[in-house]
Every structure is written in C-alpha cells, then in structure tokens.
Amino acid sequence: MVKLDTIISLAKRRGFVFQSSEIYGGLNGFWDYGPLGVELLNNYKQAWWREMTYRDNIVGVDAAIIMHPKTWVASGHVAQFSDPMIDNKTSKARYRADNLIEEHIFKLKNKNKTDIANQIEERLSKVEKNEDYYQIIIDFQIPDPVSGTTDWTEVRNFNLMFKTFVGPVEDESGTVFLRPESAQGIFVNFKNVMDSARLKPPFGIAQIGKAFRNEINTKNFLFRTREFEQMEMQYFIKPGTEKEWFEYWKEQRWNWYVNLGMDEKKMRWKLHDKLAHYANYAVDIEFEFPFGFGEIEGIHSRTNFDLNSHQSHSGKKMEYVDTVNQDRYVPYVIETSGGASRGFMAFLINSYNEEKIVEDGKEDTRVVMRFHPKLAPITLAVFPLVNKDGMPEYAHQIYKDMQKFFPTQYDTSGAIGRRYRRQDEIGTPFCVTVDGQTLQDHTVTIRERDSMLQDRIPVSKIREYIFDKIEK
C-alpha cells in the first residue's frame, strides 16, 4: 500500500493539492487545489452529476451556504451536532475521544496485539455517553500520541458548526452558521422544487457544494478537513417503501465507484451500529486508505425527520398531495452523501502505481496514476519526436485542435521516454507522437498509458479514437 506521504508529496510536486495559505505556514484543515487538482476534482464532480441527474426523476439545485439559522435548530444540528472532545493536560493537545481510541486500536493491531485491540473495540461499540469514552481511555491507559502521558480531562461535547454574523452588528441576533452539510439546502427547497418541476415521489434532488465543520482533529490530508465539498442526493419516497429504495441506492452507489475504476478489494460496507438522530437505516461505503478503512459515502434512510421538523419549525406544509388517489403524506427520504474531496483523495490513492517497465526496448521504472480516462486531469499529451523537420509545428497544430475538446498538453522537452514518464505520473491516458512518417502520410502513434501499447492512426481520427475509449 502506498504511503500517505508519497501521495501528499506527489500532489504538491505535480500541482494537485497545496496546503492552504502555505506561505504563512498553512492553516490546519484547509487545502487548495492546484491546476491538475482542480481538473480532477471537476471531472469527479461532473461524473457524479451526470450519473445522478441525467435520469428521469432527479433534478439539481445549488443552495446558499448560509441559511436561516432556524434551519439548524430544526435539523437538530444546534442541539446535537457535536463530537466528544478530550484534552491532554501535559501537551494541551485536543482530540476527538472516539478517534483517539480508534487510532490506538489501529496501532495495537499493527503490533499484532489483537486480543487487547478486540477488547477495546468491543467496549467502543457499546459507548452511549461521553463518560463511556473516558472510562475506556482510562481503563486501557491510552496515551497521548504527543506527550505519551495519560493525564486526561473529562470528555465534553464540542459543537462542530462554524458561527459567523450576518449584517453589521456582531450579536446573537445576527448569528448564522456555515452549513455543516449541504442536505438542508435541499430539504428547505423540497416544495419549491417539487412544485416548479412538477415532480411526484419517487423523485430526487441533487446538489454539490461546500460544507464546513470545525473538526477537532484534522489530519490524514483531505480525509478530515474543516472545509470540504459534498455530493448529496435526497430521494423523496412514499413512507413504507424505504427498505426497497435503500437497497436500490446502495447498489447504485457502490457500482458508481467500481465503474470509475475503484478497486473493489479496497472497498467494504460498514453498517452503522449507532444511528444518527434522523436515520432508521444507515450504511457507509468504506475505502482502504493507508491509515485503514474510512468512510467515503454514506447511504442513509432519513425517514421524514427533516421534512417534518422543517414543517413544524417553519409552519409551512411539506406534504405531497396525491389528488388522484386522495392521499397525502410527508415523504420519507433516502440520502446518498459522498465527500467530493474525500472521494478525490481515495481515487489518488487507488490510482497510484509504481512499476518496472520495458518501453521502446528500454528498462525504466515509472510512477503511473491509473485514473479512469473520465477522471484524468489531462486527457491527451502531444509530442514532436524531435524538435526539427517541421515536427514541432505539426504537433503544435494537433495540440491546438484537440484543446477544443479535452484538456491537452504539449511537451517538447527531453527524450520521449522522459515525456511519457511525466505524463504517466499525472495519469494522462493518451500520448500522441508526431514523427517523420506523420509528415508523409498524416498518421501519428497514439500510446495508451496502462498497456503502453501504441496504435498508428490517422490524425483526423484522434478525437474519435479518444472519445470512444473514454466512454468505454
């Protein structure tokens, strides 16, 4: 398994992801996407958007990040959106108590101390209140990873919502929150969308957008950050049909990752032992990160908790009225909720390969990012074989022509093998080389990244050739 540091350093070196405000020492939990990162992220979100909304009964919205503060009272976030926090008195380091315990279990398992790890895991699965976390930490003498000591404070609740003020007065009356999930922007628009788009259950509303959580511990690169993007879809259904739709969306979402090239051996289901305040069934799709399995998407059966609650807090009806069958109900909801930034990171890890190769008769080693062609930040690179005899001009023209259809790079520097290596490392699926023969018969070689096989095709067919392969 690739090390996380290897991914972070490649991401920086090749311009996928930079630490936010790096020149000032960075800001914990915030990251910036560089030139290749933004292409990959956009392709990832676009793949999701097409999958979810290019179908009969799902439409999109793009709601404001700052919503009426009552939204978060109704959703339960003001009262309940908190994590158990614990401080170490020596190092002053602060931790999420459940994460501290989980990481200790992970370390024990790596040292083959499975008996004790299993005992802690068993206790963790039964936790009901903050004191239970505290007791595990004390009973098993779990040390602070920084100071190594066990002088802990008690475990307290810490609300994860970022507060700010709307308008010129900084007081309680103007207090608002940066949304901690995009889903509420969908719930509050449920009636607007259903009526304006003339929809009836079952139907879905999809949204991609930023969410903010003042996470106690931000680490593992993009896995747990304070600003991130979610791709969420709420599927509104008739009460009583939730089990069948839950199963349907579980299968749809799993297959989406697999069809985009995620290695099924690195994926697993995780059933929720403890359900969130709104859910009656919930399951996560997990991916194997270098630090262990972690959630990339949750599929939740949210009952009609949110719509009911918005109905009572706003006084506005949130019902679907079926005039044909003389029926009315507040729909139930199946939610699919994936992190765009977390999924992006999973695909960076999933795509990374180091291998020894023989290409054009030469031995070499290469790092290759095996992104699905739909996700690859650059689709095509164009090279002249040598920088003379009209080849650069010919290659440059192909580059200009192809740029209209997909992200394309033009590279003239170094031996052709070096140029392939540079493109492999950023996952470019196709490289076209203009050589002496091109000038005679207007054909080029096109090399496929994973197999490294080359085809000779007419210049006029490059675009069609690539589109065919991307859609496969």
If binding is defined by CB under 6 A, does position 288 make contact with ligand GAP? no
First to last CA, the chain: 28
If binding is defined by CB under 6 A, does position 183 make contact with ligand GAP? yes
- Within 107-136, which residues bind ligand GAP (CB under 6 A)? none
Q: Which is nearer to ligand GAP, 346 or 382 (CB)?
A: 346
Q: 152: which DSSP letter?
A: B
CB 323 within 8 A of CB 84: no
Q: Is 296 helix (H, G, I), strand (E, B) or coil?
A: strand
If binding is defined by CB under 6 A, does position 281 make contact with ligand GAP? no
Tally helices (H) and strands (E) across the chain: 16, 23
Taking alpha carbons only, the member of 45, 48, 20, 46 closest to residue 34 is 20
If binding is defined by CB under 6 A, does position 432 make contact with ligand GAP? no
Q: Which is nearer to ligand GAP, 271 or 324 (CB)?
A: 271
Among 103, 144, 215, 286, the residue binding ligand GAP under the rule CB under 6 A is 215
Q: Which is nearer to ligand GAP, 33 or 134 (CB)?
A: 33
Among 98, 102, 263, 295, the residue binding ligand GAP under the rule CB under 6 A is 295
Give the Cα-Cα-Cα angle 424, 425, 427 (nearest 5 degrees).
Answer: 60
CB atoms within 10 A of CB 7: 21
Q: Which is nearer to ligand GAP, 225 or 350 (CB)?
A: 225
| Shortest separation between residue 147's beta carbon and ligand GAP, angstroms | 25
| Shortest separation between residue 426's beta carbon and ligand GAP, angstroms | 23
Segment contacting ligand GAP (CB under 6 A): 43-51, 196-204, 290-298, 442-450? Answer: 290-298
d(CA 342, CA 347): 9
Segment contacting ligand GAP (CB under 6 A): 43-51, 138-146, 225-233, 393-401? Answer: 225-233
Which spans in 14-112 are helix H?
35-53, 70-74, 77-80, 97-110
Taking alpha carbons only, the member of 260, 288, 287 closest to residue 371 is 260
Q: Which is nearer to ligand GAP, 335 or 424 (CB)?
A: 335
| Shortest separation between residue 342's beta carbon and ligand GAP, angstroms | 4
| Shortest separation between residue 71's beta carbon and ligand GAP, angstroms | 13
Interaction pattern, residues 324-363, with ligand GAP; x per rule: CB under 6 A: -----------x-xxx-xx---------------------
Tokens of 235: 């599927």
CB atoms within 10 A of CB 409: 20
| Shortest separation between residue 424's beta carbon and ligand GAP, angstroms | 28
| Shortest separation between residue 298's beta carbon and ligand GAP, angstroms | 4
Residues contacting 53, CB < 8 A, separation 6+: 59, 60, 206
CB 231 within 8 A of CB 208: yes
If binding is defined by CB under 6 A, does position 296 make contact with ligand GAP? yes
Q: Which is nearer to ligand GAP, 87 or 232 (CB)?
A: 232
- Within 229-258, which residues bind ligand GAP (CB under 6 A)? 230, 232
| Shortest separation between residue 419's beta carbon and ligand GAP, angstroms | 35
Q: Is 444 helix (H, G, I), strand (E, B) or coil?
A: strand
Among 84, 209, 298, 331, the residue binding ligand GAP under the rule CB under 6 A is 298
Q: Which is nearer to ligand GAP, 133 or 257 (CB)?
A: 257
Segment contacting ligand GAP (CB under 6 A): 4-12, 34-42, 127-135, 220-228? Answer: 220-228
Q: Which residues is 84 bridged to in the sheet? A: 157
Tokens of 354: 């180091």
If binding is defined by CB under 6 A, does position 224 make contact with ligand GAP? yes
Q: 392: which DSSP letter?
A: H
Tokens of 319: 């019902």
Exposed e or buried b per residue across 84-107, where buried means at least 16 C-beta atoms within 10 angstroms of its C-beta: bbbbbeeeeeebbbbbbbbbbbee
Q: Which is nearer to ligand GAP, 295 or 359 (CB)?
A: 295
Q: 407: which DSSP letter?
A: -
| Shortest separation between residue 179's beta carbon and ligand GAP, angstroms | 10
CA 191 to chain CA centroid, nearest Å: 28
CA 14 to chain CA centroid, nearest Å: 20
| Shortest separation between residue 418's beta carbon and ligand GAP, angstroms | 36
| Shortest separation between residue 212's beta carbon and ligand GAP, angstroms | 9
Segment contacting ligand GAP (CB under 6 A): 63-71, 73-81, 254-262, 295-303? Answer: 295-303
User: What is the spatial order of strands in the sheet that 408-410 belongs to?
Assistant: 408-410, 380-384, 430-434, 443-448, 454-458
The residue nearest ligand GAP at its CB is 339
| Shortest separation between residue 80's beta carbon and ligand GAP, angstroms | 12
Q: Which is nearer to ligand GAP, 304 or 409 (CB)?
A: 304
Ramachandran assignment for 442, one of left (phi > 0), alpha (psi -120 to 50 degrees), beta (any other): left
| Shortest separation between residue 159's beta carbon and ligand GAP, angstroms | 14
The burial class, CB within 10 Å (0-12 / 13-18 / 19+), for 273 is exposed
Q: Which helix (H) or strand (E) holds 284?
A: strand 281-289
Residues forming contacts to ligand GAP in the complex (CB under 6 A) are: 181, 183, 213, 215, 224-225, 228, 230, 232, 295-298, 335, 337-339, 341-342
